[in-house]
Every structure is written in structure tokens, then in C-alpha cells.
Structure 1
Amino acid sequence: MWVEMNRRELLQLFGGVAGGLPAVAAILAGLDSNERQRVGEVLIRPERVDDASIAHIEDALNIALKQNDLYGPQAVLPMVTAQQAIARALLAQAPERLKPRLFTVHSQLAQLAGWMHFDLRAFDLANASYEAARESAHEAGNDELVALVLCNLSYLSTWRGSPRTGIDHAVAAQVWARSVDDGLLRSYAEVIAAFAYASSGRANASLAALDAADDALVDGIGTEASVAYFHGPGLSLSFRSDCMYRLGRAADAHQAAVSSLELIGEGYTRNRAMAYVDLAHAHIEGREIDEAAQVIGEAAVLAASCRSDRLSEIIAGARAELTPWADALCVRDLDDLMNDYGLSNSRM
């Protein structure tokens, strides 16, 4: 009701686009009456922005991060885009003392939006969001966030088939990550570099980066409030498995994939699905078709609850590797399962 009463002013905040109005309602709905009034006044008159109103945007960001891990980008991206628009609008009239904090939250929202666009295979939009995130991180003087965004830019470039550009971004990310006291972030920068090196066939550089990631991870365990909070032994092993597969070392890829699944928490749906695909690649290399079909099916079940076009494509690609055994019962059963969950497979 409040949103409708103040629709004109809110549309000005969002540049005339009504898509942000549900996000405003969602933010206000979680507040008590006093805080709702405070935040409402800030949205109508951005010059009133204060620490408390920025804190509410930060809280909404943290909720979006968790929702994205569980449900995927299609469910969460509109909310994040609206929150990003709010932060950008408030920056125009915020006092100087609050701008570093606002630039930080704007950068965090932009990089999260970039990751979601990446998951939806909207690669140009992902790149644009990451560049906006990098610019805001520099404006905030937030070296940790700069390093994280550069990691994401590297991963995106490598994924798009430009691993040399991915190496450029990864090397920059390593430099920024080494300048801060965050072992998890340093480890993440190293595995991203390893992925880019492996994708360009540079085995020695990739293996060295993976070992450096393990060393940094030891220092990073227990790190509080890391921007790479999602990183850990399980994800690091998943990257190792992927790199080993790309470098033609199937046995090492298999071992790392099995270990990663033991360590990746249930809340990280996509990471677990990716680890299952890593394991499938290793099984296929070893001509273990029943096992490969089973773990691709596990990934498909997870993907159904966390919609991601990129993840669906990865799973479909793993299924495509089973084409020589398309008539096997286990593969036909896998096709039926993927069809039930709305994922593409060879028969579709």
C-alpha cells in the first residue's frame, strides 16, 4: 500500500522503471513500523540516507546471496537488480562519509548480478555488471572486493573461450588478493588462475597455482567475513578435478571429485552439481558408464531445484559424452530422468 501511495517518487528513484517496486515492498516487509518509516523516507528523499538505511540494503544483499545459492538466478536476479538501482540512486546524494560503504554494497550487488547473468548465459550482461562492480570497488577502496571481481572476470573470460584473457584477469586478481589478509580469497584467486592455465594447456602453471591455493587455504580456514566466504576445501578440490580433467589426468580428476563431494555443504546446490559433473567426466574417461550416468543424474536432480542455464548446459554436455553408449539401459534411464526434470538430452 505504501509503495502504491508513493509510486511516482519511487519510479523517479528507478528511472521510471516499475520493476524495482516489488523489491522495495520486500525490503520494507521485513522491518518494524519505525524502521519501515525511516527507510521509506530515505527512498522518497535519498538525501536522508544514513548508516541504518545502508544496513538494510546490506541485509537484503545477504538474503539474496543465500537465496541464489539455493534457488538460482531466475528467482533472485530481479530483486538484486532493484537493490542495485537503489544503491546507485542513493550514491548520488549520499554524504561523503557514507560513500565508501555505499560503493561497497553497490559493487557487491553488481558482482552478484554479474554472476547471475553468467549463470543465465547472458555473458555480455555479466561482463558489464562485473566491470561496474570493479569500478565501484575501486571507488570504495575495497581491495578484497577488487580481487573477487577480477576472479569473476577471469572465470567468465575463460568460460567464453578466451583463457589468455582469463589469465590476464587472474594474475591481476592474485596481485590484489596477496595485498590483503584473507587466505580464502588468496586461495580462490589461485584456483581461478589454475583454471585459466589448464584451459590454455599450461600444465605446470596450473599445477603450481593449485598447490598455492592449497597452501593459502590452510591460512584461510577460520577467516571471518571473507568476501570469498563460499570458498573452501570442497570447492578447491572441485576446481582441481576440473583442471586435472582438462590436462588429461583422469585418475587425479576422479580422486579430487570424490573428495570434493564429501566436503561441499548441502546448501551449495550448484557447487555440488558441478562436482557431480566433474566426477562424471572422470568416470567417462575410465569407461565407467553406469557410474557416469548415475552421477549425471544426481547433478540433474540438484539442477532442478536451482535453475541455471549454464549448469543445465554443463549437465547436457556431460550427457552428450555418453552418446557412444546411448542404447545402454543406464543412459536411457538418465535420458528419462533428464526429460522429467526439463533438461535437454540427446533424445530431445
Structure 2
Amino acid sequence: MTRPEDHRALPPELLASAEWREACRSRDFARVFRLVKIKAGIYPSRIAALCGMTPSRVGEIMAGRRALAHIDVIERVADGLRIPGAMLGLAHRPWEIPVPARTEEGLPEPVPPVSEQSQHTDPAKDLDSLLALVDAPVTRSTLTALHSSVEDYWRRDNSHGGATLRPAVVGHLRYVGQLLDSAESGLRHDLQAIAAELARLSGWAYFDARQYSTARTYFTQALKLSHGHGDRLFMANVLSCMSLLATYDGNPNDAVTLACRAQDAARGAGDQPLVMSMLHLREAFAHAVLRDARSCHQAVDRSRDQYERSRGREAEAPSWVRYFDETKLLVDTGIAYARLGEAARAEPLIAEGLRREKADQQRGRAFHAYWLASTQLQQGKLNQACTSAELALNLTTAIDSPRVSGHVQELHRRMLPYAGEAPVLAFEQRMRDSLG
């Protein structure tokens, strides 16, 4: 039986959403499980463990091939996923009985995001704070070491995914916050910049783990920190991350607004064509999700023009944007077209970008292999799509990125109309072997 400590509460915003309530009211567990995966980052294998089912059964339910009717199984799902009984037409579950300090009824206690404000509740963190008081004073060598740690985190994120980096990065952010309290005024500006970078990296790690609400919290913290020390370019960087997050979280209009606001911030910092090139493509992604072909193509054209202006000036660009090279421009342009539905135009761009990418860029290559398979599937190229999907799957098993593995599983669902075809059967077997 699932114990109360086995699983935290589902996000309050999920429990409050109309889509969730309707899925629970109608006991549409295919939709319930999909929402739990997308909005809470709980994947089918974990759903199976929490609810006392096999992964294959959960997969069949999500695919619509099986339904749940027995009340004891429905109660197991309610208990395992912490779904309030009333939402499923059940009696209140034992774990819903409120403790005296609670003032809300019917909803599980929300789990707050990790933040500095929660330090006093954890004795280990209190001890860290006390020990920080007797640490050696902050020096330029301290800043050099912190910069090196941030660079190492980004390398590891690029190679292996960001999900497992979260505890280390958030802990490092908390530590830098403690240093800020005691640092000399001459070093506070640089420390604040490092804190902003660590907050952005924390947001990115949660974004890669598909925990979008927590990611937004850290991106907001990064934006405030960069505003505090007047770095408009870094503010543009954070706003671009928030734009991408909004695109994934189903808010493409917000994504367009954030991308354009990032461009305004970058313009205020001077002539930075490489930064502007990256930001115009973020805008293109959002327009593509909105199916606004004209605006998408215009943003892509502006991105290319700015990239041409940046040639020979890469050293002038901030270090955080130098990843955006010709290969990245090529493949991101292809992804924008793919999001727009222009598969034939997107496929050669993504294929060429994937061919150029370095072998150690595993998360990026897995992501781009997924998009290549997606464009091939849109065109009915089933054999090629399955080959590209298998490449994406092979790379996904070597990294920890729920965002990418979610894409691969989404691709599998889109292959269901071809479920009896030999390439799809082979791919499904490979998925079972790799992901359970």
C-alpha cells in the first residue's frame, strides 16, 4: 500500500484547473494521468509505483486502450496521487483529515518551492548559516571559484540534463546568498551577478525537470537579482528563458510578450547582435505555437540578419550567449518551422544541425533528434521517423531530462495510428526496454 510519505501533494494550480476537475469528475484517467505527467512531472513508471499498477497498464490507460472501473483501484489512484476523494466522487480519504493548524479543507497542503525563506525550518540549513559566519572573508579567489562552479554546472547540464543538478545548484545559490550578507561592498556587485546566474540555472534545472511553477519562481528571482545590479543584458537572458517556459507551459501570447521585452532590454544595453539573434528566435518559437506564420517568418529573418551582423564579433557577446552559433541558428530555425507545421522546410535544417553537433552535447542532440523524427512523421516518412526516434531514445537514456523524455513519449503517442507497422513495433519494444 502507498504510504503518505511516498508522494507529495499535486501542485495546487493543477488541482484548481477546470481541465483537471472535469477529468476527475468524469473519471477520465487517461487525461488524469497525462495531466499528472505534464503538470506535476510524475511519469508513468512512477504513477504505476504509487498506484500499485504495472507500467504497461498505466501506458494502456493513457493510450485509451483500458479504463478504470473498480472502486478499489480508483481509491488506490486517489491515495497514490493524492487526489482529494470528492474530486473522484469518493468519500474523504484518510490522509485528507486536516491537522488542527490547517485552515483549508479538501485540498492537500501545498508544497512550497525551495527558497532562502524556508531555511529556518531545516536544522541542517541553520547549521550551514551558522558555519558561514565563521568562514573566511569573500575574496576575488572566492569569486573565481564560484564562476568555475557555475561553468561546470552548465557543462554538466548540457551533457547530462539538468534534473539531477537541482539540489546542488539551489544549495550553491543559498550559499552565495549567505556570502552576500557579509561581503565587502566592493565585491557585492560581482556576488550578486553570480547569485543571478545561479538563480537562472536553478530555474533552468526545474524547467528541464518539467516543474514549471518552481522554475518560474527561480527565474523571477534571477530577474530581480540582475535588475538589482543593473545588468540589462542578463535581464534579457532571463526574460528569454521565461519566454521559452511560457511556450512550453501553454501560454504562447505571454511568450511573445516576454521575448519582445527581452529584446527591448537588450537594446538598452547597446549593440549586441548575437544576443538579438537568439532573442528573435525565441520570439519565432512563440509565434509558431500560435500558428502565426507571417510573424514567425519575420522573426526568423530578423534572427538571421542579426547573426550575420555578429560574425567576427563573438568576443563582444556575453559568455552565456556564445553557445548560439551557426549550428544552433540552423537547428532552432528548423524547430520554429516544425512548430509552425512546415515539416518539409524544417527537416533538412534540423538534420544538418544534428549532423554538425558535437557528440558530448547529448541533451541537445536528443532534443533535436526528437524534432527530426517529428518532422519526418508529419510527412509520413515512417521508417525515417522511427530511426530518428530511436536515436532520440538512445540519447535520452544517457541523460536525466524529463523534458526530453517527455517529448520522446509524446512522439510515441503520435505513432499510435501506425501501431501495427513493423518500424513502430520495433521502436515500442526499444522504449519498453529503455524506459520501462
Task: For 1:171, give the aligned amino acid.
Answer: C
Q: Distance in 2 between matches of 1:17 and 1:281?
A: 48
Residues 234-256 of structure 1: per-residue CA shift (max 9 Å, x gap): 22222222221232212111122
Farther off after superposition, 261-270 or 136-145: 261-270
Q: Displacement, 1:288?
A: 0.6
Q: 1:19 to 1:265 in 2, by over 3 A?
A: farther
Partner of 1:304: 397
Q: Distance in 1 between matches of 2:373 and 2:123?
A: 44
Q: 1:268 to 1:140 in 2, by over 3 A?
A: farther
CA contact (8 A) 1:253 1:278 kept: no
Q: Of 319, 322, 326, which aligns to 1:226?
A: 319
Q: Distance in 2 between matches of 1:202 and 1:103?
A: 39
Q: Displacement, 1:94?
A: 1.6
Farther off after superposition, 152-161 or 91-100: 91-100
Q: Distance in 2 between matches of 1:17 and 1:337?
A: 45
Q: Distance in 1 between matches of 2:126 and 2:158?
A: 22
Q: Distance in 2 between matches of 1:236 and 1:314?
A: 21
Partner of 2:115: none
CA contact (8 A) 2:278 2:303 kept: yes
Q: 1:17 to 1:116 in 2, by over 3 A?
A: farther
Residues 211-255 of structure 1: per-residue CA shift (max 9 Å, x gap): 111122223345134321222222222222222123221211112
Q: 1:20 to 1:227 in 2, by over 3 A?
A: farther
2:228 counterpart of 1:135: no
CA contact (8 A) 1:47 1:94 kept: no
Q: Which runs of 5+ in 1 are unaligned?
A: 1-13, 25-40, 344-348
Q: Displacement, 1:190?
A: 0.8
Q: Displacement, 1:19?
A: 7.3
Task: For 1:206, give the aligned amino acid.
Answer: C
Q: 1:259 to 1:136 in 2, by over 3 A?
A: same
Q: 1:207 to 1:42 in 2, by over 3 A?
A: farther
SS in 1 for 2:306: helix
2:343 counterpart of 1:250: yes
Q: Distance in 2 between matches of 1:19 and 1:152?
A: 29
CA contact (8 A) 1:120 1:310 kept: yes
**TM-score normalized with structure 2 length:** 0.68
Equivalent residues, number: 316
Higher helix share: 1
Q: Of 155, 160, 178, which aligns to 1:66?
A: 155
Task: For 1:233, give the aligned amino acid.
Answer: E
Q: Displacement, 1:117?
A: 0.2
CA contact (8 A) 2:163 2:402 kept: no
2:309 counterpart of 1:216: no
Partner of 1:318: 411
Q: 1:252 to 1:237 in 2, by over 3 A?
A: same
Q: Which runs of 5+ in 2 are unaligned?
A: 1-118
SS in 1 for 2:358: coil
Partner of 2:86: none
CA contact (8 A) 1:46 1:94 kept: no
Q: Distance in 2 between matches of 1:331 and 1:248?
A: 22
CA contact (8 A) 1:46 1:89 kept: no
2:281 counterpart of 1:191: yes
Q: 1:221 to 1:275 in 2, by over 3 A?
A: farther
Q: Distance in 1 between matches of 2:163 and 2:278?
A: 25
Q: Displacement, 1:20?
A: 11
CA contact (8 A) 2:386 2:424 kept: yes
Q: Displacement, 1:46?
A: 5.7
Q: 1:18 to 1:327 in 2, by over 3 A?
A: farther
Residues 273-295 of structure 1: per-residue CA shift (max 9 Å, x gap): 12111111211121110110110
Partner of 1:29: none
SS in 1 for 2:435: coil
**1:276-295 alignment, distance < 5 Å:** 276-295=369-388
Q: Of 318, 328, 332, which aligns to 1:235?
A: 328
Seq. identity, %: 23
**1:45-194 alignment, distance < 5 Å:** 45=134, 48-178=137-267, 179-194=269-284
Residues 122-171 of structure 1: per-residue CA shift (max 9 Å, x gap): 11100000000011111121122111100000010111110111111100
Task: For 1:149, give the aligned amino acid.
Answer: V
Q: Of 243, 260, 268, which aligns to 2:361?
A: 268
**TM-score normalized with structure 1 length:** 0.84
Farther off after superposition, 334-343 or 105-114: 334-343
Q: 1:141 to 1:295 in 2, by over 3 A?
A: same
Q: Distance in 1 between matches of 2:287 and 2:242?
A: 15
Q: Displacement, 1:271?
A: 1.5
SS in 2 for 1:78: helix
Q: Distance in 2 between matches of 1:185 and 1:327?
A: 47
CA contact (8 A) 1:106 1:136 kept: yes
Residues 38-75 of structure 1: per-residue CA shift (max 9 Å, x gap): xxx99443682222112211111111111111122233
CA contact (8 A) 1:42 1:49 kept: no
